[in-house]
């Protein structure tokens, strides 16, 4: 049998490292199966952070737990920070289970999700007697997260204030020291303007008396998305969540770029927002907050409905850096459906599944004075 030809466009990259990073080494691992994403980060000294959650296809457990155990790390004691960047189902799958296991972790999510609007929404949609589809928008998972945290608070009332940590722009979430270098984790969003818009949008989704909707429209603006900045000495990492660009100086990426309170510097690793879509693109982020062509860009593919990034998106990204890595090769064609059918399906998120969604991984490790080491687990690729 003839040997299968290798893809000559793909350079030879190191295999994934299967032991924990050194105590003075940072790691960012991005996981994506086509629908869903998760970031697992080592902040030095055995301290780990997880951003969002999705399921590992084989074991059906949260990928963060699966990966940490696989490299010999106990998530119950090692994970100190969990960030739920926003409440869409492709970023929250399995999050409550992960939080239950990670007993030492502080949990952060947008301050907008602590407002009465969201509390009313999840109480309405997460109820077993709800007439509307309670599985959409990650509402049920967020309700489970709140239940886990409330249970933890009841067990330890004195530390209730340490259980849940609301996030708003320009807030320092974590700080430590590795040798002479400081490690800091900042939230760069949501801005005050974004929080206001998020609350208005959430309020519009609340079912009213006599509401005969069987589904609730999927929120599309992501105003409550939490963007994260990690500073490691001279190095910086920008994790873009699914934040969109609005063109409004008080919301979206423009608000971050314009902020006088955010940490300054330029990131050499950039997790691209919103799967590389043009909706999350802001030219000034690339020119003012990244090292441009010297930076590494990582992203996940979204295969529900129209696949993103598109070829046009990829060409745009490669105009800034040639080092663009994706957890899954984007689909070149999208299944076409009648508009009425597509509208119905978008509301019924729970009925959409990726068949055989293999989990791609991009593993990035770095030390203070050494080159970035990047490895891919197929189907992750260099675009």
Percent of the chain with pLDDT over 90: 57
Is a pLDDT exceeding 80 seen at residue 207? no
Q: Concatenate the DSSP letters of all residues of 89-154 into one string.
A: HHHHTTHHHHHHH-TT-EEEEEGGGGSHHHHHHHHHHSSTT-SS-TTGGGHHHHHHHHHHHHHHHH
- Whole-number Å distance between alpha carbons of 291 and 269: 9
Q: Which CATH number do you get for residue 86?
A: 3.60.15.10
Note whether residue 346 is domain-resident. no
In a domain, 253, yes or no: yes
- Region 139-146: mean pLDDT is 80
CB count within 10 Å of CB 40 equals 26
Number of domains in the chain: 1
Averaged pLDDT, 251-272? 96
Say if 336 falls within a structural domain: no
Tell me whether residue 141 is in a domain. yes
In a domain, residue 45? The reply is: yes
Would 347 be classed as within a structural domain? no
Nearest residue to 36 (alpha-carbon basis) of 13, 62, 17: 62
Q: Is 313 helix (H, G, I), strand (E, B) or coil?
A: helix
pLDDT value for 263: 95
**211 lies in a domain?**
no
- 15 within a domain of the structure (yes/no): no
pLDDT of amino acid 12: 72
What are 265-319's pLDDT values in tens digits? 999 999 999 999 999 999 999 999 999 999 999 999 988 777 899 999 999 999 9
What range defines the domain where residue 151 resides?
Answer: 26-206+219-331+358-365+375-382
């Amino acid at each position: 049998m003839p040997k299968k030809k290798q893809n000559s466009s793909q350079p030879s990259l190191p295999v994934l490292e299967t032991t924990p990073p050194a105590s003075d080494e940072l790691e960012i691992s991005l996981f994506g199966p086509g629908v869903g994403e998760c970031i697992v980060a080592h902040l030095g000294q055995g301290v780990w952070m997880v951003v969002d959650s999705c399921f590992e296809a084989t074991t059906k457990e949260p990928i963060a737990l699966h990966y940490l155990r696989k490299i010999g790390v106990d998530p119950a004691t090692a994970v100190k920070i969990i960030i739920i960047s926003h409440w869409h189902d492709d970023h929250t799958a399995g999050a409550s289970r992960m939080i239950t296991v990670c007993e030492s972790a502080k949990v952060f999510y947008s301050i907008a999700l602590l407002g009465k609007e969201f509390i009313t929404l999840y109480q309405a949609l997460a109820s077993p007697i709800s007439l509307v589809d309670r599985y959409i928008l990650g509402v049920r998972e967020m309700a489970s997260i709140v239940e886990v945290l409330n249970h933890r608070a009841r067990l330890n009332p004195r530390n209730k204030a340490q259980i849940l940590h609301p996030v708003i722009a320009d807030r320092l979430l974590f700080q430590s020291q590795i040798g002479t270098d400081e490690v800091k984790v900042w939230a760069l969003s949501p801005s005050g303007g974004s929080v206001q818009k998020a609350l208005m949008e959430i309020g519009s989704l609340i079912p009213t008396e006599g509401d005969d909707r069987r589904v609730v429209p999927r929120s599309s603006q992501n105003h409550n998305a939490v963007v994260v900045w990690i500073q490691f000495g001279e190095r910086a990492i920008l994790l873009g969540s699914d934040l969109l660009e609005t063109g409004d100086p008080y919301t979206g990426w423009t608000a971050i770029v314009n902020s006088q309170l955010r940490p300054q510097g330029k990131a050499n690793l950039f997790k691209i927002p919103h799967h590389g879509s043009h909706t999350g693109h802001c030219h000034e982020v690339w020119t003012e907050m990244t090292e441009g062509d010297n930076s590494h860009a990582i992203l996940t593919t979204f295969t529900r409905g129209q696949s993103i990034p598109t070829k046009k998106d990829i060409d745009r990204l490669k105009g800034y850096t040639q080092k663009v890595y994706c957890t899954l090769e984007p689909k070149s064609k999208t299944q076409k459906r009648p508009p009425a059918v597509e509208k119905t399906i978008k509301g019924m998120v729970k009925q959409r599944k990726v068949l055989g969604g293999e989990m791609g991984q991009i593993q990035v490790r770095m030390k203070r004075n050494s080159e970035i080491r990047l490895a891919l687990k197929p189907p992750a690729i260099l675009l």
